[in-house]
Amino acid sequence: MQSNDLAFSWRSVPKTTAYSARMAIVAGVLTGLLHLPSVVAWLSVLPLAAMLYLVAREPSAKSAARVGFFAWLGFWSVHLFWLPQSFSESFGWFVWLIMPLLWVAEAILNAAVIWVAHRLTSTKFGTLWMAAFLTLLLEYIRANMGALSFPWGFFGYALIDTPLAQLASLGGVYFLSLLMLIFAASLASAALLEWRWFAISGGLVLLGLVFGLTRPMPNSPNRDALLVQGNIDPFGRLARPSGKSDLEIFTDLSKPKKPNTVIVYPEAALGLNQLANNIQGSSGAPKLGRLIAGVADYSQGFDKRVNAVAAIKDGALLGTSTKQHLVPFGEFYPLRRELAFIYNPIFSIFGLGAGFGGMDLIYQTKTLELDGERFGTYVCYDSVFPDVARDRVLDGAQVLVNVSNDGWFGRTWGIEQHFMMGRMRAIEAGRYVLRVGNTGITAVINPLGQVLQRAPIQQPLALEARYALEKTQTLYVRFGDWVVLLTVFLAILATATSRTMTDTW
């Protein structure tokens, strides 16, 4: 009797877009809030299930897309709230008119996915599962849109503090996202008394937990590094020089207590002219023994820029590896010259000058070597792309080094999101990650994604870090994004299956 009452209560909910839109906004906001970096982020699967349910029960593709837009607008407005929040302090209220457009653009992409899911299937049940699979494929597309790539909002990151995160060593963050979406879709099915899919997905979760809890521990840390966090205001650096040079700040902190310690500087810590002078500036800074430093060249006033990592031994430059992915509308501005009539007034409002934004980066990526140790280095935004760390390991990297400058984020949750994604790279690649940020987060992450050491943010300091070298390759490093192909197969299967089913909803 209770089951029938439950079924009746769900089916009797009015299927009006107005009602569904309001519920969708609530579900989207709750998903965004729970998805914020925390130990309970995995609970975001619950409101995610509600989002999928609400779009699947709409009678037409148009109404489903409309409801999906409101759901995802709620999600993105929470997930990316830090963008205007962090930049408004320096650029003013105007950013609140510009940056929220990204929330709308991302919500439109998700709504388009919902529309396609509805059109490809003939039942609500089929739409539910198709929407889940296509959402995963949209995550992959977001990470592979060339210069416009923006791989934020992946659901797999919500599992970083659970044993299930270890599945990333098999199939990357996409494997975790697929598991989250399958479980959310099965929850939506269970709410309508379709329990078999919940039982199947529950079994998959249990297997994942067993795998995560039984993974062997990595090599114990046995090597020394000094991660130097200069805490230099990036906005102040652009506006005016400070009393003490950047080089003086970093070299004052660079005092390792042990021999053969590798010193790591964050993104843009040094200029190319300082490298040319064997890291001896006007301050008479000493030559450092083993140094991996983020280097940049702003001498052309942003018309041309080099953003890279350099390996230096006793003042001699051994090699460089450049940044692989530029930040859209931060380091790269699409059609900058063609749309100058739009860009120039906006840059002028921010006080950046009409010539701002015309960057030209030269790509040269490779693993750097110091005394036989092979360091896979990447810069800031590169850390949110799974393929970057994977490529470094394929090139022989024994330890990963992520130099960053998250000073732009201030104390918003953007800095924690960025760090959370960087932790996933350690699991995927099976490597220790030495992460050093200009203002933080500076930390050591082991190959299980566990944070072994972490320094407080927005303080000048040097973290005495310990790490180990690893040589084995994870299945993800060997086979890459095979989960995406699996999802394509599942989407095709959902399309074919839905045409032979009838709804019991």
Average pLDDT (452-468) is 95
> Which of the four pLDDT bands, split at 50, 70 and 90, describes residue 421?
very high
> Which of the four pLDDT bands, split at 50, 70 and 90, describes residue 302?
very low
* Bridge partner residues of 467 (DSSP): 223
> Which of the four pLDDT bands, split at 50, 70 and 90, describes residue 301?
very low
Most confident of 64-68, 325-329, 357-361: 64-68
pLDDT for residue 358: 56
- Note whether 386 and 143 are within 8 A (CB): yes
> Which of the four pLDDT bands, split at 50, 70 and 90, describes residue 226?
very high
Q: Report whether pLDDT(503) > 80.
A: no
> Which of the four pLDDT bands, split at 50, 70 and 90, describes residue 114?
very high
DSSP secondary structure letter of residue 93: T
Q: Report whether pLDDT(242) > 60.
A: no
What DSSP element (H or E) covers 70? helix 61-79
Beta strands, E only, 232-327: 262-264, 270-271, 290-297, 306-313, 316-322
pLDDT for residue 333: 73
Beta carbons within 8 Å of 70's beta carbon, 6+ residues apart: 21, 22, 24, 25, 28, 107
Could you give the CA distance from residue 360 to residue 194 in angstroms, rounded to a whole number? 55
Could you give the CA distance from residue 293 to residue 270 in angstroms, rounded to a whole number? 7
CA angle 246, 247, 250 (to 5 degrees): 85
Average pLDDT (2-7) is 38
Instruction: List where CATH 3.60.110.10 sits in the chain.
Output: 223-326+364-469
Residue range 20-45, pLDDT digits in tens: 889 999 999 999 999 999 999 999 99
Percent with pLDDT over 70 in the chain = 81
Could you give the CA distance from residue 300 to residue 12 in angstroms, rounded to a whole number? 65
Q: Report whether pLDDT(18) > 80.
A: no
Average pLDDT (125-132) is 91
pTM: 0.87
CATH number of 223-326+364-469: 3.60.110.10
Residue with tokens 């953007």: 414
Least trusted range by pLDDT, from 183-192, 342-351, 394-403: 342-351
Beta carbons within 8 Å of 62's beta carbon, 6+ residues apart: 115
Q: Report whether pLDDT(2) > 90.
A: no
Q: Report whether pLDDT(427) > 50.
A: yes
Q: Are strands 262-264 and 223-229 parallel, antiparallel or unpaired?
A: parallel
pLDDT for residue 443: 97
Average pLDDT (483-487) is 96
What DSSP element (H or E) covers 467? strand 461-467
Q: Report whether pLDDT(111) > 90.
A: yes
Q: Are strands 399-404 and 373-379 parallel, antiparallel or unpaired?
A: parallel
Average pLDDT (360-373) is 76
Could you give the CA distance from residue 400 to residue 377 in angstroms, rounded to a whole number? 6
Average pLDDT (84-113) is 83
**Residue 138: which of 113, 114, 156, 175 has the closest Cα?**
113
**Residue 359: which of 388, 326, 385, 404 has the closest Cα?**
326
> Which of the four pLDDT bands, split at 50, 70 and 90, describes residue 286?
low
Could you give the CA distance from residue 190 to residue 28 in angstroms, rounded to a whole number? 20
Beta carbons within 8 Å of 227's beta carbon, 6+ residues apart: 264, 434, 435, 436, 442, 443, 444, 455, 462, 463, 465
Least trusted range by pLDDT, from 181-195, 355-369, 397-411: 355-369
Pair of tokens at residue 79: 């997930």
pLDDT for residue 9: 42
Beta carbons within 8 Å of 100's beta carbon, 6+ residues apart: 77, 84
Concatenated DSSP letters of 392-438: HHHTT-SEEEEEE-GGGGTTSTHHHHHHHHHHHHHHHHTS-EEEEES
Cα-atom radius of gyration of the chain, to the nearest Å? 24
Q: Report whether pLDDT(367) > 80.
A: yes
pLDDT for residue 339: 72
Q: Identity (one letter) of the amino acid at 224?
A: D
Residue range 63-92, pLDDT digits in tens: 999 999 999 999 999 999 988 887 766 666
Q: Identity (one letter) of the amino acid at 348?
A: S
- Note whether 20 and 65 are within 8 A (CB): no
Average pLDDT (404-410) is 82
